[in-house]
A and B are shown apart, each in its own frame.
Chain A
Amino acid sequence: MKAFTRNLMLGAALSMSALVATPSFAAEEKTQPILGITSSALEEFGGREGVRAWVESLFYYIMLDNRIAPIFREFGNVERQTFLNTQLEIMVLGGPNEYQGASMSAAHADLGITMAQFNAVVEAAYNACERNVIKYHTCNQLINALAPFTADIVTR
């Protein structure tokens, strides 16, 4: 009887955590890079606050780059972008999926992003890592996890 109750409670706890882990609004899935990413990647980024700080640096460098700044100025609300990107990066780095934005393909479908513009954001990402004193090897874990979105984002 005691064992049964414990099992029941465990089951309830599991189903509740499952509910939290797969919120209905999530519109993008975690990527599956080959060989995975290092398990401590999120921690090495400085946790949630570290990722948030990195995303702020990312947009600082993006808005300084004439190749891509106009796109973000026209189509993106940088404050909202920072909020959503923090959620996205936490997810792909192995944290919970709390991403509230549109899927990568839906968000970029009409923008006609070129490979060179995409790579300019990659350059900004590395610059942001350097600015936030995140090791190159750790930075590559994020690049690894975001790279599979390339085909969804680059449409031209």
Chain B
Amino acid sequence: MKGSKGSGTRWIKGLAFVALSMVSSHSWAGLYDDGKVFLTGGVFTVDGAGGGGAVPWATITGYETRDGINGGVGFTYVQLPNYSLNFLGGSIGFFDRFELSYVNTKLSTNLGNVDTVALVASVLNLDNNLGLDPNGSNLHMETYGAKLRLFGDAVYTSDSYLPQTAIGAFYKVNSTKEFVKTLSAAEDKDWEAYMAFTKVFFRYSTLVNLTVRYTSANQIGLTGFGSCDNGHRNCNNDKEFRVEFSTAYLLQKNFAIGGEYQQHGNQQKNKPVDTGDLLAGDGNGGLLNPIVGGLVGGVIGATNLRDSLVQNESDWYDVFAAYAPSKNYSITIAYLFLGDIAVAREQNGLYLSLHATF
């Protein structure tokens, strides 16, 4: 008994020592590293990984070299005609080899037609089923990411075409399950994997990146994964390979301009928002018909409303400027061409991102 008690104390002492040495400046001084060249870790992406705005690169986040650890926190705000998005997260790079990331994403809608459905649903006490809020519905997703650099070098081997190559994966959990189901998605959480190739061509002061992603995400997962017919029937969540591309031209050692392309699927195309009995009728607008007539004075009928709730998805494009006044922070301003998102058309707008690195 006495012996086991003694070893228990040793255990606690050992743990305390490990904890202390973790926080002591001395041991961190050995691992902390900010020796990487400006912007070569990429900035904070919407998935949390190091890269451009939307596309994860093969570079490892943070300013660490192969001898240390570095990382940071990022915040991104996007304003679109019918949506606004917040991304808050962080990422850590280990030895310029491995990266872990997390991002918490919130999408707020400003959609009159969806609000109308939500209002009617709440009048009829159906709101629990649809996950909608008459005052503007929200989508919420958390993304966990990991990336491993395999081989090649983006920056230093300027005499070889071999690009820096990395593989990575995300696990995305959408906590607004009912809303995602209403949008006809098959799953509210899923993983995706990618392979990225990055190379800097100093001759032209240009960085080029190609990423291939294996995923079934709708709108990067914000509206779920895969799709179903109305009533959550005939669900299909097959993953596919999608191509992403980004390029950045360096105007200064700490200032780059560029553009990105991200291929999206279109699994929810022409799928109406799944409102169950509310809009289920063919031609008569289901339960909603008499109510909408009273609510909006017959300006639009329930059938028109249903037509306006048909979804579509487009490939994403953006142009950006990234500026790193010091190694401790960077600012990225972009203009996004996101096309059709769910029931809203032509969602183009401004993107502002801050990345603070320690």
Q: Which of A6-14, A26-34, A42-50 contacts B (4 or more CB under 8 A)?
A: A26-34
Closest to A156 in B: B67
Contacts of B159 in A (CB 8 A): 31-34, 147-148
Instruction: Say yes or no: B65 contacts A119, CB within 8 Å.
Output: yes
Q: What is the minimal beta-carbon distance from A26 to any residue of chain B, in angstroms?
A: 18
A-B contact count (CB 8 A): 75
Assembly CA distance A34 to B37 (angstroms): 20
Q: Are A115 and B65 in contact (CB under 8 A)?
A: yes
B42-75 residues with Cβ-Cβ distance < 8 A to A are 65-68
Interface mask (A80-110 → B, CB under 8 Å = 1, otherwise 0): 0000000000000000000000000000000
Residues in A neighbouring B241, C-beta threshold 8 A: none
By the criterion CB–CB under 8 Å, are B158 and A136 in contact?
A: no
B67 touches A115 (CB 8 A): yes
Instruction: Find chain B residues with CB under 8 A from A31 CB.
Output: 158-159
The complex places the Cα of A123 from the Cα of B37 at a distance, in Å, of: 7
Instruction: Tell me whether A137 is interfacial, beta carbon within 8 Å.
Output: yes
Say if the beta carbon of B17 comes within 8 Å of chain A. no
B106 at the interface (CB under 8 A from A): no
Of the four ranges (under 10, 10 to 19, 20 to 34, 35 or more), the interface on chain A belongs to: 20 to 34
Count of chain B residues near A, Cβ 8 A: 26
Whether the Cβ atoms of A136 and B250 lie closer than 8 Å is yes
B66 touches A34 (CB 8 A): no
One of B36, B37, B66, B158 near A33 (C-beta < 8 A): B158
Residues of A within 8 A of B37 (CB): 119, 122-123
> How many Å from the CB of A45 to the closest CB on chain B?
15
Shortest C-beta distance, A139 to chain B (Å), equals: 8
The main secondary structure of chain A at its interface with chain B is: helix
Instruction: Knowing A34-B158, A115-B65, A119-B35, say if A144 contacts B253 (CB, 8 Å).
Output: no
Flag if A117 contacts B250 (CB, 8 Å).
no
Q: Check A62 for interface membership: any CB of B closer than 8 A.
A: no
- Flag whether A134 is at the interface (Cβ < 8 A): no
Contact with A35, one of B36, B204, B251, B253 (Cβ below 8 angstroms): B204
CB interface residues, A 132-156, toward B, < 8 Å: 136-137, 140-141, 143-145, 147-148, 150-151, 156
The closest CB in chain B to the CB of A67 belongs to B35
A144 to B33 Cα, complex, angstroms: 24
- Among residues of A, the one whose C-beta sits closest to the C-beta of B254 is A126
Closest chain B residue, CB of each to CB of A149:
B156
Chain A residues packing against B (C-beta within 8 Å): 31-38, 114-117, 119-120, 122-123, 126, 136-137, 140-141, 143-145, 147-148, 150-151, 156
3 nearest CB pairs, A to B: A116-B35, A144-B202, A115-B65
17 contacts between A and B (CB under 8 A): A32-B159, A33-B158, A33-B203, A35-B204, A36-B203, A37-B203, A114-B65, A114-B67, A116-B68, A117-B35, A119-B35, A143-B202, A144-B202, A147-B156, A148-B157, A151-B156, A151-B157
